[in-house]
């Protein structure tokens, strides 16, 4: 296996002796102790080598090396490189240090190894063209409340949607293919900053009087920027020395854990520009569905339980108590969705409701909320992008992948077998029955919060399982927070075991598992 680096692009060369090509990103990740492994670096880096048509390439086969025209297998795009001429290659190995030469032929450059055995190389591009880089050159700027560091390069992947704001002007350098970039003449940032200033005044009053800080709920339909606005308020609060609590009740597109959960997180530092808030020690409850309407009774029960725990946390931490809470909600605002919003407001004893973009919802909340609850209407930012159902599903899949494999910092989950006899699997909610079929004194909604045993089988394949902190069903399993999640990657009925993907080594911390409807196809 040869690895060649030109500019910032890593390629892996597959030789005729059948060595598998890899997808290593750096020389350090290669096995230099293996005699058959050569790591080659072009010296000096050819400045004239450039990609005319960048694109998102993942292990795309290329027909020839260093030729004038290079075609990508399975991709309609073509990559063109200018001719390099003769280059010097340095072999990095424990046993040998020798220079190899690359002779430029009409179409193919031949790489010669130390045995002078000529090989024709096929190059495979791992492709870093999907990364977009941004660097602040001059001035001051921020992304959703997080200040940018001058001279630091920030990396974003394909599909990232960001908005850079500056109060005093700045100079940015963008690298990579950008779908849309523009400078907005008008933004609602002044209004957003006024909300932060009002919340900060309430925090100061709470700190002086040793009382509870403001609890703010952000509401609105889908795709109006609720999550971004919450992130903005939290970042501004942290930059003022506060320690607010983020409560995320969006079970489909949440920021704290995998889809199908609600949770809370103590925010102690501004969100990372590329990765978001630090996910250390979040409080997470298992819901098991991607929509809040799938089990209304369970959702309301978990919201009530989460509000109690958050209140206890605030009472135990004076700084968090004065800093208050920012609550992100789902985009379901009609019918039962509106009733859920009123339930959230009642459970958390909301002080302020910020409604984004929808005046009808604003007027309904003004009408139905008590007089001591302040309701504020704000326009959405012009940079908000509407997401299709496919984009939302892709986002949920990405959140699960990030949970197991990390985003910028790679994580390495473990795969091992779990015997059926060592586990107890349950799901929350039984099939709905009419009230006439229910036992005396029970209602149909009571059935939706019932714990039902699940027999292990092929039906578990690719599903997420929540690992509960509850040791037995005698405890209140439904309202007990979870330790983490595993994914079932294989079910072997003959051996009576299943293979799971887990963030930590075996054995599982608890053997009581809760089945989620969220599925994840592990492609690693």
Q: Which of 16-20, 83-87, 252-256, 361-365 has the lowest mean pLDDT?
A: 83-87
What phi and psi values does residue 165 have, to the nearest 5 degrees? Answer: -120, 140
pTM score of the predicted model: 0.74
pLDDT for 229-265, tens place per residue?
999 999 999 999 999 999 999 999 999 999 999 999 9
Question: Domain residues of the chain, as ranges?
Answer: 2-125, 132-175, 189-378, 412-519
Give the architecture-level CATH label for domain 132-175.
Answer: Sandwich (2.60)
User: Does 500 show up as a binding residue in the annotation?
Assistant: no
pLDDT for 306-329, tens place per residue?
999 999 999 999 999 999 999 999
User: Does 228 show up as a binding residue in the annotation?
Assistant: yes
Query: Regarding the domain delimited by 412-519, which CATH topology (the fold level of the hierarchy) does it fall under?
Result: Elongation Factor Tu (Ef-tu); domain 3 (2.40.30)
Q: Which of 22-26, 157-161, 328-332 has the lowest mean pLDDT?
A: 22-26
Q: Are 310 and 249 in contact (CB under 8 A)?
A: no
The confidence band for 441, taking pLDDT boundaries of 50, 70 and 90, is low
pLDDT for 161-193, tens place per residue?
889 999 999 999 988 888 888 888 889 999 999
DSSP state of 13: E
Q: Are 21 and 14 in contact (CB under 8 A)?
A: yes
**Per-residue model confidence (pLDDT) at position 281:** 84
**To 10 degrees, what angle do helices 336-348 and 359-368 make?**
50
What phi and psi values does residue 319 have, to the nearest 5 degrees? Answer: -70, -40
**How far apart are alpha carbons 302 and 317 in whole angstroms?**
23
User: Does 427 show up as a binding residue in the annotation?
Assistant: no
What phi and psi values does residue 191 have, to the nearest 5 degrees? Answer: -65, -40
**Per-residue model confidence (pLDDT) at position 10:** 36
> b or e along 1-21 (b: 16 or more beta carbons within 10 Å of the residue's beta carbon)?
bbbbbbeebbbbbbbeeebeb
- State the greatest distance between any 2 C-alpha atoms of the chain, in Å, as a whole number: 88
> CATH classification of 189-378, choosing from 3.40.50.300, 3.40.50.720, 3.40.50.150, 3.30.2270.10?
3.40.50.300
Q: Which of 87-91, 146-150, 375-379, 456-460 has the lowest mean pLDDT?
A: 87-91
User: Does 380 show up as a binding residue in the annotation?
Assistant: no
In this prediction, residues 426-431 reach a mean pLDDT of: 85
In this prediction, residues 492-511 reach a mean pLDDT of: 89
User: Does 15 show up as a binding residue in the annotation?
Assistant: no
User: Does 224 show up as a binding residue in the annotation?
Assistant: yes
User: Does 226 show up as a binding residue in the annotation?
Assistant: yes
- Name the more confident of 240 and 52: 240
**Per-residue model confidence (pLDDT) at position 429:** 85
H helix and E strand count, the chain: 8, 31
Helix (H, G, I), strand (E, B) or coil at 296: helix
């Amino acid at each position: 296996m040869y690895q060649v680096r030109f500019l910032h692009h890593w390629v892996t060369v597959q030789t005729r002796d059948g060595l598998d090509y890899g997808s290593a990103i750096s020389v350090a990740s290669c096995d230099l102790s293996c005699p058959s492994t050569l790591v080659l670096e072009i010296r000096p880096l050819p400045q004239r080598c450039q990609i005319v048509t960048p694109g998102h390439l993942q292990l795309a086969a290329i027909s020839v090396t260093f030729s004038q025209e290079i075609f990508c297998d399975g991709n309609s795009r073509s990559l063109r490189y200018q001719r390099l001429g003769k280059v010097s290659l340095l072999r990095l190995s424990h046993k040998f240090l020798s220079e190899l030469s690359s002779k430029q032929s009409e179409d193919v450059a031949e790489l010669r190894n130390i045995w002078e055995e000529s090989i024709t190389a096929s190059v495979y591009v791992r492709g870093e063209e999907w990364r977009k880089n941004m660097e602040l050159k001059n001035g001051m700027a921020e992304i959703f409340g997080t200040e940018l560091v001058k001279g630091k390069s920030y990396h974003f992947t394909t599909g990232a949607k960001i908005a850079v704001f500056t109060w005093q002007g700045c100079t940015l350098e963008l690298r990579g293919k950008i779908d849309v970039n523009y400078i907005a003449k008008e933004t609602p940032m002044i209004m957003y900053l006024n909300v932060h200033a009002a919340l900060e005044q309430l925090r100061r009053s709470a700190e002086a009087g040793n009382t509870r800080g403001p609890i703010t709920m952000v509401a609105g339909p889908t795709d109006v920027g609720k999550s971004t606005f919450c992130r903005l308020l939290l970042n501004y609060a942290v930059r003022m020395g506060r320690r607010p609590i983020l409560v995320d009740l969006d079970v489909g597109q949440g920021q704290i854990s995998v889809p199908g959960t609600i949770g809370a997180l103590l925010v102690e530092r501004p969100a990372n520009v590329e990765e978001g808030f630090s996910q250390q020690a979040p409080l997470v409850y298992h819901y098991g569905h991607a929509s809040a309407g799938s089990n209304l009774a369970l959702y309301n029960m978990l919201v009530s339980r989460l509000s109690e725990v958050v209140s206890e946390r605030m009472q135990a931490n004076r700084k968090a108590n004065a800093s208050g809470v920012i609550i992100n909600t789902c985009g379901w605002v009609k019918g039962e969705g509106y009733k859920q919003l009123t339930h959230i407001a009642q459970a958390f004893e909301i002080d302020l409701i910020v409604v984004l973009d929808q005046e009808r919802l604003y007027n309904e909340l003004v009408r139905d909320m008590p007089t001591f609850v302040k309701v504020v209407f704000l326009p959405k930012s012009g940079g908000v992008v509407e997401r299709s159902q496919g984009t939302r599903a892709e986002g949920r899949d990405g959140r699960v992948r990030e949970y197991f494999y990390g985003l910028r910092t790679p994580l390495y989950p473990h795969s091992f077998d779990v015997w059926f006899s060592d586990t107890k699997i349950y799901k929350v909610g039984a099939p709905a029955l009419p009230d006439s079929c229910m036992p005396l004194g029970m209602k149909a909604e009571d059935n939706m919060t019932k714990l039902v045993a699940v027999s292990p089988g092929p039906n578990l394949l690719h599903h997420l399982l929540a690992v509960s902190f509850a040791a037995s069903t005698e405890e209140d399993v439904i309202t007990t927070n979870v330790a983490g999640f595993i994914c079932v990657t294989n079910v072997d009925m003959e051996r009576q075991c299943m293979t799971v993907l887990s963030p930590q080594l075996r054995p599982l911390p608890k053997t009581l598992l809760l089945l989620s409807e969220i599925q994840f196809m592990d492609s690693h």
